[in-house]
Structures are given as structure tokens and as C-alpha cells.
Chains A and B, each alone.
Chain A
Amino acid sequence: MAIRGGRPAARAGRPPATAYRLSWRILDALEAVAARWPARAEGAVKWLLLAPALAVVGLLVFGLVVMADASLRVMDFRTYQLGEDHSTANYVRLFGWGAFHATLWRSLLATLLVTLFCLLLAFPYAYALTRTASARLRRVLLVGLFLPFFVGQVVRAYGWLVILGQQGLVNQALGLVGLGPYRLLFSYPTVLFGLVQYMLPFAVLMLAPALAAIPEEIERAAASCGASHPRTLLRVVLPMARPGLIAAALVVATLTLTDFAMPAILGGGTNDFLANLVHDQFFRTSNAGLGSAIALVLTLLGTTVAALLLAAAGVGALGVRGAR
């Protein structure tokens, strides 16, 4: 076949300079370089490809080491400098501090509840999204899924202030039937509500591919064997959707555990999570030592939550090849 505007490639041997695209030349050059790569060094290719990611992880680890060092130094408030000596004083103080205990349990409980609610709500949404025969409904569901991503978390939280405030839309509607106004904001349930609303699209996004990967024929086969639709969902679809459920739980749980904005905006100052406590120590009291200690505990907790989820389901649940 002739290259448009040039001579036939077979006869020319090499296409004319004007017809040979720049991108092809680059690829040729790369191939030439690759051809010179010694066969013995082929094993290094994967490491070269992994290098950028490893560099990022390395930076994170370096940051953690710096924080670990700071967490072992006590702030001297006469000079606002961290002490030279290392000790566990910040951790001792932390675990004896009532505010830390309260915040810790509040964060963990929220992680559990928000993850559960999100999975419960995300499953039917994702199922409808992947199974509906109506293109219009699918479009509506897709818009509903992606629209929240265009609105940041802080803006959404402020939106709830407008909706749930004493003079907000909900109280105005209740006022029309002679009820209220009620205090709907600045409580733990409000923070949970805001978090579920924020995390739900993430859960759907993680769950939908897993459900789409389950062939519909399997459901029809279950039905032909006499299984009702609820029974099919419970005994066939749910177990097969396990990778998606685990991935959704992982994302929602870790994001909830480390959330800052929802408790700060919807909590009214008395429903802080651990991230708020870290922020307070770094930015309000300038205590980098105690702040680092809380941050490390939070990191450890996040890792533990992820590890427990994976241990309960097995890494294989995520579809990782070769994993059990």
C-alpha cells in the first residue's frame, strides 16, 4: 500500500522524509535504543518502569521517618523549638489524653458506619447502572455518579449548611406544615450523613466494574434453576462482586478515617476526627512533636484497617494475579 502523497513504500525501500511521521521516527529511535539494551539487563526494565512510583513511595517513607523523629521530641514552649532528646513522652501524653480517646473512637466508629452505609447504598445503584436496558436511565445514573466529583468536598459541606440550617430549606419546608425549626446541623449524625453523601460516588465507582464483569447469563442460569431474584443477588451476584465490594470498602474506609473537612464544617467544633486533631497540633498550638505522634498513629490505624479488610477477604478478592 502506498503512503498517501509519497512513493510506494515497498519500492522506495525507505519512505521519503516528508511522509514519515515524526512520531514514527521517535518510536524507531526508541526501538533502536531498546535493541542495544543488553539481554542480560532485561530484568532491570521492570525496575526502571517502577522507578517513578518507587521514588514517590520513597518520598512518603522519608516523610514518615522525619515525622517519626519529630514525634519523639518534646516541644519547649519557652522557645517553641523541639527538644534535642528523644523520648516517648508525646505518645505517653497522647494515650493519656481524653480528647484523643474520644476522637479516636469517633473516627473509628464513623469509618465503620460510613463504609457500611455506602456499600448498602452503592450496591443497588451500581447494579442498576450496569444492568439497566434503558440507555436514558444509564445516562441519568452516570450523570448522578460523576456530577458530585465536579463539586469539591468543602463546597458540598457548605451546601449542607444551607440546606440543613435553622433557616435552611429543610426547616423552611417543615415550617410550612407547622413543625420546627429543628437543630439539624453540628452533630455526629450530621457529620456521618455528610460523609456518606461524599463517599457514595467513590463506592459506586469501585463497585460498578466488578458488577459489569459478572455475565448476565449467570443470573439467568440461576433463575432457570429456580432461584428467585433476591436469592440470585444474595447467593450469586454478591459473592462474585466481592472484589468490587472490598475495593469500595477500602477506599471509603481509608478516606473516612482520615477526613478533615466534614467534621470541621458540619461538626460544629465538638465532633472532631483524628485529622482535625493533627491539624490543631500543627497549626493551632504549633506542637509539631505531638502532631507528628497523632499523624503516625493515624497512619498506623489506616494501614491496619486496610490490612484487616484484605485479611478478611484475601488479596485475591481484589483480582491480584497469583494472590490467594
Chain B
Amino acid sequence: MSEASFSTSRRRLLGGATALGAGLAMPAILRAQEPAKPAELIVRAWGGVWVDSLKKGVSDPFTARTGIAIRHDLTEDNEIKPRIWAAVAQGRTPPIHVNWDTTANATSSALRGVCEDLSDLPNLAKVLPLAKPIGLTGVPIVNLYSYVYVLAYRPEAFPGGPPTSWNVLLEPRFKGRIALYNDGIGFHPVAQVVGGGKVSDIPGNMEACWAFIRKLKEQKPLLGEDPDFTNWFQKGEIDVACTISSNAREAKAKGVNVAWTVPKEGAKVDTDGMWIPKGLPANELYWAKRYIDFALSTEAQQVWLDGLGLPGVAPGLKPPADLVGDPSYPTTEKDYERLILIPPKIQAEHTAEWFARFKEIMQS
């Protein structure tokens, strides 16, 4: 070995050793640079299977890694929103650190400008493009999974096989035994199609939608929220409903004989996300971002979304065994062709108007 080559090797060795040492020391250095950990983070969540799955898949593992306790606040997403808005407007610390929210509802907060920018989350580069909201400046919300408003039904009511069209909701035998969300959410685009209109006409011309909902009103539907659907199926109050597949799956898990389908007219697909309200102290903001970043990881999503039966934005997720090939668990482009997506910004800008029309029909 020549002196020169030895010298080079020695330099390489020394350089390598330095790099190795630095590499080994890096986590400790990074940890030293991390801001102070808060004792807890408050994460708003929905109750029932929703919070149970979040706890198991995201919150508990996050606590195990960081030592930061997670408190789940089960205030409804619509009800926490004005409190956050008021806190931001008055320069107070917001009541929660992370808001788990529907993307449409979260978009209204983003439009108001009360969301922190999340574009620096490391895992955002590794997930599906669906994670980034469309039509908004920056990344005020991170979408975490999609879900489908399916036609859920009691198989005993359909001895001839699953319903194939949303028109079954108008069958006289189901009068008083159908259910929708109490703001009509999840049903408008479907009603537009079944009523003879086009999805592309939303929001400009939705008369077909309102005409169908007027017919549906004659069927005396029950109007409720997520827990109501599970409860109504359990108590035998309804035979068919337009609801998120997770609610039907939860009822099934509780021993209720419920099935679901995506009828030929399609079904509405939507996303849920997380966002952080402005006004948090810097260290709490940092850890709230770490929480959402962890929620984006494949490791967290696999456990969390198995519980919900929903397809996440992390790559390489395996569907739960009972949902392989299920139309409510879209994974391919072909699966999505059957589903109707209304951009959240359009939803946020027209929610009040659609709600007013829906109420006018249902309350009259």
C-alpha cells in the first residue's frame, strides 16, 4: 500500500468514523433541538368506533414514542369550530391542538384563515396526492383517508338480493324506515344523479337533486348523525340508510345484520383530515404537527384505518380482510370511477345554501 493511498484511506476512515459518530449522535442532537414537550395534546375526535380506532392506531403509539399524553375531546366538529374561531379572533390559545374534521368543514376554517400551514410535514412527501387539499393556498389541512356514503340496508328487507339503485328509497314499503344525515350531507350528488341531473351541474343547477329530495320527504325519513344510524339499525327502526360505511360496519360488528352497497348511480366519496388552529405556543404547535405527521405514517394508518375500514393516504396499506374488493373501500382508479367527488371548496362555499334547501323541504 503506497503512502498516498494509505493517507487517502486514513482520511476516508477518519471521515467515515466522524460521519458514523455524527450519525449515532444525531437523534440525541435532534432531540436536544426539539422544543419542550407539553404534558398533553388535545385532539378533537368523533366518538364510538372513530375515537377507539384513533386511540389504538395513532394516539397511544404517539404517547409511547414521545411521552406526550393525548386527550380526546369529543365535542362535535361543528361545535368546536366557532370556539376555535372565537379564540383565534380574540388572540386566545385555542381549546384544542389538533382538529380531526371533515375536509369540507375544515375548508371553511381554512377559508377563514384560522389554520396553521402544514406543508413542512415530512411524511407529506411520501403519501398519495389526495392528502393535499385542492383549491386552497398552502396546506392548511391534511387529508388522511377517504370514505364513501353507501346505501346501507338490512338484508332481511331485501330477500331478492342487494338493492341496485338509490330509487329503492322511494319504495312504499320503506315509508318511515329510511334514514339520511340531518343536513343531507353525503346525499346531494346522489340525489342529483338519481333525480335525472348531472354531477357537472353542481352547484349551478341542482333542481334535480331538490326534486328527488322532495319525493323522499314523502317517505318520512329519519334524520340523524353518525351514532344514530348504528343505533337505529340496532333497534330495528330503519331498513335502509345513506350513511358512511364505517357506521354500517360498526353496527355489523355489534351483531346487527347490516350490509351495504354502492348502487349503479354511484355514491359520494369524501375525505377527512386534520388541522391545527392558529394561536398555539410554538412548542405545542411543533408537537401537534408531529402528531399529524405520525397520523400520516403507514404504521399508524394501518392500525387506525383497519378499525374504521377506510382507505388511507399512506402507501402500501393492506385492506382489512372483510373489505377486500368492497366498493366502499376504493383502492384503484376503477373503484373511484363509480364514486362522486365534489371538491371541498365548492362544498364549503355552498353548504349553507344546500342546508337551507334541505331543511326547507324536510321541515315543511
Determine whether the beta carbon of B111 is less than 8 Å from that of A79: yes
| Residue B355 interfacial (CB < 8 Å) | yes
| Residue A228 interfacial (CB < 8 Å) | no
Q: Which residues of B contact A285 (CB under 8 A)?
A: 351-352, 355-356
- In this complex, how many residues of chain A approach chain B with their Cβ under 8 Å: the count is 32
Determine whether the beta carbon of B111 is less than 8 Å from that of A80: yes
Instruction: Count CB-based A-B contacts (< 8 Å).
Output: 87
- Cβ proximity bits B206-248 to A, threshold 8 Å, 1 near / 0 not: 0000000000000011111000000000011100000000000
Determine whether the beta carbon of B223 is less than 8 Å from that of A270: yes
Determine whether the beta carbon of B235 is less than 8 Å from that of A183: no
| Residue B326 interfacial (CB < 8 Å) | no
Tell me the smallest distance from the CB of A73 to a CB of chain B, in Å.
Answer: 14
The B307-364 residues at the A interface (CB cut-off 8 A) are 348-352, 355-356, 359-360, 362-364
| Residue A254 interfacial (CB < 8 Å) | no
Tell me the smallest distance from the CB of B270 to a CB of chain A, in Å.
Answer: 16
The A74-122 residues at the B interface (CB cut-off 8 A) are 75, 77-81, 97-99, 102-103
A186 to B235, CA, bound (A): 14
- Cβ proximity bits A20-37 to B, threshold 8 Å, 1 near / 0 not: 000000000000000000
Binds A, one of B23-31, B48-56, B61-69, B74-82: B74-82
Determine whether the beta carbon of B360 is less than 8 Å from that of A183: no
| Residue B108 interfacial (CB < 8 Å) | yes
Tell me the smallest distance from the CB of B261 to a CB of chain A, in Å.
Answer: 24
Determine whether the beta carbon of A102 is less than 8 Å from that of B364: yes
| Residue B101 interfacial (CB < 8 Å) | no
Q: Which residues of B contact A78 (CB under 8 A)?
A: 111, 349
Determine whether the beta carbon of B360 is less than 8 Å from that of A97: yes
Q: Which residues of B contact A181 (CB under 8 A)?
A: 236
Tell me the smallest distance from the CB of A322 to a CB of chain B, in Å.
Answer: 44
| Residue A167 interfacial (CB < 8 Å) | yes
A280 to B185, CA, bound (A): 14
Q: Which residues of A contact B235 (CB under 8 A)?
A: 165-167
Q: Which of B176, B356, B360, B362 has its CB near the most chain A CB atoms (within 10 A)? A: B356
Q: Which residues of B contact A270 (CB under 8 A)?
A: 220-223, 362-363
- Cβ proximity bits A46-85 to B, threshold 8 Å, 1 near / 0 not: 0000000000000000000000000000010111110000
Determine whether the beta carbon of A284 is less than 8 Å from that of B355: yes
Tell me the smallest distance from the CB of B228 to a CB of chain A, in Å.
Answer: 8
Q: Which residues of B contact A165 (CB under 8 A)?
A: 235, 237
Determine whether the beta carbon of A80 is less than 8 Å from that of B108: yes
B183: contacting residue among A102, A268, A284, CB under 8 A? A284
Determine whether the beta carbon of B363 is less than 8 Å from that of A166: no
A285 to B108, CA, bound (A): 9
Q: Which residues of A contact B254 (CB under 8 A)?
A: none
| Residue B182 interfacial (CB < 8 Å) | yes
Q: Which residues of A contact B220 (CB under 8 A)?
A: 270
Determine whether the beta carbon of B356 is less than 8 Å from that of A99: yes
- In this complex, how many residues of chain B approach chain A with their Cβ under 8 Å: the count is 34
A183 to B176, CA, bound (A): 8
| Residue A283 interfacial (CB < 8 Å) | yes
A80: contacting residue among B112, B183, B355, B364, CB under 8 A? B112
Tell me the smallest distance from the CB of A20 to a CB of chain B, in Å.
Answer: 49
Determine whether the beta carbon of B82 is less than 8 Å from that of A97: no
Determine whether the beta carbon of A103 is less than 8 Å from that of B363: yes
Q: Which residues of B contact A189 (CB under 8 A)?
A: none
Q: List the B residue with the shortest CB-CB distance to A288.
A: B82
Q: List the A residue with the shortest CB-CB distance to B349.
A: A77
The B168-220 residues at the A interface (CB cut-off 8 A) are 176, 182-183, 220
B236: contacting residue among A98, A166, A284, CB under 8 A? A166
| Residue A197 interfacial (CB < 8 Å) | no
- Cβ proximity bits B63-107 to A, threshold 8 Å, 1 near / 0 not: 000000000000010110110010000000000000000000000
Q: List the B residue with the shortest CB-CB distance to A187.
A: B220
A99 to B352, CA, bound (A): 13
Q: Which residues of A contact B350 (CB under 8 A)?
A: 77
A165 to B79, CA, bound (A): 28
- Cβ proximity bits A273-302 to B, threshold 8 Å, 1 near / 0 not: 000010010111111101000000000000
Tell me the smallest distance from the CB of A159 to a CB of chain B, in Å.
Answer: 14
**Residues of B with Cβ closer than 8 Å to A?**
76, 78-79, 81-82, 85, 108-109, 111-113, 176, 182-183, 220-224, 235-237, 348-352, 355-356, 359-360, 362-364
The 16 sampled A-B contact pairs (Cβ below 8 Å) are: A77-B349, A80-B109, A80-B348, A97-B356, A98-B360, A99-B362, A166-B235, A268-B223, A269-B182, A269-B224, A270-B221, A270-B363, A285-B356, A286-B85, A286-B352, A290-B352
**Residues of A with Cβ closer than 8 Å to B?**
75, 77-81, 97-99, 102-103, 165-167, 181, 183, 185-186, 268-270, 272, 277, 280, 282-288, 290
| Closest 4 pairs (CB-CB, A-B) | A269-B223, A285-B352, A80-B112, A99-B359
Apart from A270-B362, A285-B351, what 4 extra A-B contacts exist at CB < 8 Å? A99-B364, A102-B364, A269-B182, A284-B78
